[in-house]
Amino acid sequence: MPLTCASWIGLVRPHLAELLVGRPAFDRLLALARHLPAHGLNVIETRLASRSTGTADLSLRLTAPGQAADLAPRLLPPHLRTFLASGWQELGHPVPVAAVWLELDLGRAPQGLPKPLTCARLHGSWDAQWLVDKLLPALHGRPLTASQKHWLHRGLAELPAAARVLYAFSLAARPGNAVRLEICGLEPAAMIAYLDRWAPATAGRQIAEIAPLVEGCGRYHLSFDVEDGVSPRLGVECGFERLPHREPGWRRLLDRLVAAGLCDAAKRDAVLAWPGTDSPWTAVARWPPEAMGLGGYCVRCLSHVKLVSTPGRPPEAKAYLIFEHLQRPAQADGAPTSRLSSSAST
Amino acid sequence: MSRFDLERFTVDTKKDPGMMDEVSRLEGNPQALVRWAAQRGYQLTPDEAHGLASSVSELSDQELENVAGGWDGTTPPPSGGG
């Protein structure tokens, strides 16, 4: 059996509680993962509300053009195939894109392989014109509308000095024509002030509603969609640098979501129990035979929690669970170094 | 080695601190691990030895947190859903 992302999903299955990813969703995840490369960081998105029945989405990070070659071609629309095959060179040089993420919405594609949402992780220096006229159209497969350009430029122009765009998305795989920006460097109070300067009047109030739930987190991101205007659907991502067993803030955050009726208590416990490591020593019976020669570790981390706000509805809470195969590089004398390197470097 | 024998080898090694110390010493050196195991009646294939020799020690919390793919050192993965 070839080594694919499915090899690692099979390995982490016992740690993935069924209430987070139900049996039908897991089977779909596994089937999809057979079309995805084994090397790289993956994220499972799971919904935390009691009423959500264990559905899940899957994302993967491509840090080098060669990784795209391992993807089943039928997963990608033609413009993305070209974009990835060219090593995103069409964006200029040096390219201020550290990685491209593909996000596969299994919940929105009940049959077959879903078309991926695409997202570029930005780094280095770039300007608003490049983002709006080059990067986003390349991800989107078509030029942006005049209205999208207008609102994106407004949002970018109002960014405080402490904030920056971390991710730029095309949501073309979904109905509609939206693109998304994800901003880091703003705490909730600063998000409200930022949105109040340029976005619809409801936006700041939506973040104000979420703010008490995410108080005390170590890191925050704000995401918003732009279609004809700024979408009323906003996201606040939050989390901590340390793992839950070393950072009680994770538990406090999830406890608040449970108290607010946004997170099932058993799902909270399952999310907190996710982080850990498997290796051929700890899970020899489950370690994929096709990966035996690789050895290394399959690492599970809790990435972040996201609250999605839509006016007139309670916020929706989601958790993002990472898994990745890693190896320690050996030194020339055969002794391992203490530094970990991912099988897909960042 | 069959999967059953491989499991026996890892279980036996983890149960015996002396064996574990010796295997730890051989971390990163699969050829030596093959020879050492063979002397004790365990026939490891080169692939198995490589896999085991590359993952003897546990990862520290700090190493796990660095993985963060999580936060990539400074940044978490994006949240497309929603």
pLDDT tens-place string over residues A196-239: 999 999 999 999 999 999 999 999 999 999 999 999 999 999 99
Amino acid A279 reads S
Cα angle A250, A253, A259 (rounded to 5 degrees) comes to 135
**pLDDT beyond 50 at A338:** no
Average pLDDT over residues A108-133: 86
pTM of the model: 0.91
Q: Which residue has the higher pLDDT, A142 or A1?
A: A142
How far is A54 from chain B, CA to nearest CA, in Å?
15
Average pLDDT over residues A277-293: 91
**Given pLDDT bands bounded at 50, 70 and 90, which one contains residue A314?**
very high
Do residues A219 and A240 touch, judged by C-beta distance below 8 A? yes
pLDDT number for residue B5 = 80
- Interface residues on B facing A, Cβ-Cβ cutoff 8 A: 3, 6-7, 10, 14, 27-29, 46-48, 50-59, 61, 63-73, 75-82
Instruction: Give the three-state DSSP class for A153.
Output: helix
pLDDT number for residue A109 = 60
Backbone φ/ψ region at A335: left (φ over 0), alpha (ψ -120 to 50), beta: beta
Average pLDDT over residues A127-135: 95
Average pLDDT over residues A93-120: 82
**Could you tell me which residues come within 8 angstroms of residue A111 by beta carbon, excluding any fewer than 6 positions away?**
none
**Given pLDDT bands bounded at 50, 70 and 90, which one contains residue B46?**
confident
Do residues B67 and A324 touch, judged by C-beta distance below 8 A? yes
Q: Which of A37-41, A237-241, A261-265, A322-326 has the lowest mean pLDDT?
A: A37-41
Considering only CB atoms, which chain A residues are within 8 Å of B65? 241-243, 246, 301
**pLDDT beyond 60 at A113:** yes
Do residues A152 and A144 touch, judged by C-beta distance below 8 A? yes
Considering only CB atoms, which chain A residues are within 8 Å of B81? 45, 57, 103, 105, 306, 318
Q: Which residue has the higher pLDDT, A285 or A269?
A: A269
**Given pLDDT bands bounded at 50, 70 and 90, which one contains residue A339?**
very low
Q: Which domain holds residue A81?
A: 5-342
**Given pLDDT bands bounded at 50, 70 and 90, which one contains residue A91?**
confident
Question: How far apart are alpha carbons A327 and A297 in whole angstroms?
Answer: 6
pLDDT number for residue A342 = 44
- Residue/partner pairs of A189-194 with CB below 8 Å, 24 or more apart: A190/A160, A190/A162, A190/A163, A191/A220, A191/A222, A191/A236, A194/A158, A194/A159, A194/A160, A194/A163, A194/A222
Q: Where are the beta strands (DSSP E) in A154-294?
A: 164-170, 179-184, 219-226, 230-239, 276-278
**pLDDT beyond 90 at A195:** yes
Question: How far apart are alpha carbons B15 and A128 in whole angstroms?
Answer: 60
**pLDDT beyond 60 at A147:** yes
Considering only CB atoms, which chain A residues are within 8 Å of B66? 340
**Given pLDDT bands bounded at 50, 70 and 90, which one contains residue B50?**
confident
User: Does ipTM come in above 0.85?
Assistant: no
| Interface residue A262 vs chain B (CB under 8 A) | no
pLDDT number for residue B72 = 46
Cis peptide before A94 (omega within 30 of 0): yes
Average pLDDT over residues B49-74: 75
How far is B2 from chain A, CA to nearest CA, in Å?
10
Considering only CB atoms, which chain A residues are within 8 Å of B49? none
Report in angstroms the alpha-carbon separations of A280 from A170, A236, A296, B35. 39, 37, 8, 19
Give the mutation candidate from A7, A46, A297 for the B interface (greatest B CB count, under 10 A). Answer: A297
Considering only CB atoms, which chain A residues are within 8 Å of B72? 121, 346
**pLDDT beyond 90 at A115:** no
As given in the structure block, the two tokens for residue A333 are: 């004398």
**What domain count does chain A have?**
1
Do residues A41 and A321 touch, judged by C-beta distance below 8 A? no
pLDDT number for residue A320 = 95
